[in-house]
Structure 1
């Protein structure tokens, strides 16, 4: 099955839970994204893979216009309902693919993308597209889950994410993001690391993981090496996985 069909299938049935998800709605990373942007109020902003619409909603009061793009019609409808419900009328909603954006070259002053690129099967093509649609000296604000540099940790995190959500493609290492962006003529002007605590039950339930798979996944985490348990701050009580800690990178890159 095509990975993009997987994404549409997963997020089509999970749209409302992403709008209400605390980690997506309230994360300090979202506040940091807005702080990092250099805004005059006349900018046109593109929010790629808008999901529940939280990033588009956060930026709408500070820019002239937001274009929110998502691959999944149900997700876009949920985002529109959420954003218009907050009184923001300067947002357009367009179905579109992050790796093949339906916009002319140099259309936007800013591009944002939050907690989504780990679903993209060709992240280099996504970066190319961001570069293409940005105006010269335009800002790219990226926020995504990343993996540690050590292979064992990288493999563990990507394994559990893929197990929970078959539309997960890959969370990249911080070094991989910096390299891919700089090789595409972006200059990294600012970046931050955020720790994210995932509550195991709600993390699984957001993707409607069947109970049998949830139990197998929990067992896999319980059986992880002591080194992995330390790194990911895995909390286990009475043979139940309570939570673990991941990380996100939030960065600002300028199109040169």
Structure 2
């Protein structure tokens, strides 16, 4: 099974969990993303890998039209219910691949993608497609979990995420994102780093992990080095992991 089938299977059964997920609904990064969009009301927006629809929902009142795209039909249905319940009728829903966007060149004023690219197997192709569908002068707002620059921390975090979610591909480093965006023709305007607190039980339950899978994850974290435990501020109650801290980056880049 390829990674995209994995994504469809994993998120097909987790769609409603992502709609109600507190981190996805109310993360401080979402408010900042809307601020950084600098919209005037006339924009056509594409939200790639819309997931539970939170970004599309947040932008809908401030723009002319939002196209919410996702690879997983169940996710699109959940996002559509959520957004329509909030009274927004200027959002359309399209099933599609982030690495092969089904839109003509220079269609959108703004493209957003939040907490999703760590599932994409070909990040350069995704960035290239975003560049293609953006109008000249348009903005790309990228928001995703990232790995620390240290190789050991990077390996720990990506191994942990892959153990928890087989559809995880890679959380890139901050430096890798900035480099990839610039090499694909974007100009970086600003970026922000956010800390993210993961509550272990909720984080596992969102992916429907079995008790044995949770136990394996718990053991993996317990056995890591003290240096890693300090870096990720891993909280342990007796021998049970309760939480840890990750990070995300929010980048504004323009197509000149």
What TM-score do the two structures reach when normalised by structure 2? 1.00
Task: Compute the displacement of 1:38 (Å).
Answer: 1.8
Q: Which runs of 4+ in 1 moved over 4 A?
A: none
Question: Residue 168 of structure 1 aligns with which residue?
Answer: 168
Question: Residue 196 of structure 2 aligns with which residue?
Answer: 196
Aligned equivalents of 2:128, 2:239: Cα separation in 1 = 45
Q: Which runs of 5+ in 1 are unaligned?
A: none
Q: Which runs of 5+ in 2 are unaligned?
A: none
Q: Deviations over 1:172-225 (max 9, x none)?
A: 000000000000110000100000000000000000111101101100001110
- Structure 1 residues 203-242: aligned runs within 5 Å: 203-242=203-242
Task: Compute the displacement of 1:39 (Å).
Answer: 1.0
Question: Residue 32 of structure 1 aligns with which residue?
Answer: 32
Q: Does 1:249 align with 2:249?
A: yes
Q: Deviations over 1:140-174 (max 9, x none)?
A: 00100001100000000000000000000000000
Question: Residue 10 of structure 2 aligns with which residue?
Answer: 10
Count the aligned residue pairs: 256
Aligned equivalents of 1:242, 1:38: Cα separation in 2 = 38
The Cα RMSD (Å) is 0.4
Aligned equivalents of 1:154, 1:162: Cα separation in 2 = 12
What TM-score do the two structures reach when normalised by structure 1? 1.00
- Structure 1 residues 71-110: aligned runs within 5 Å: 71-110=71-110
Question: Residue 124 of structure 1 aligns with which residue?
Answer: 124
Aligned equivalents of 1:144, 1:182: Cα separation in 2 = 17
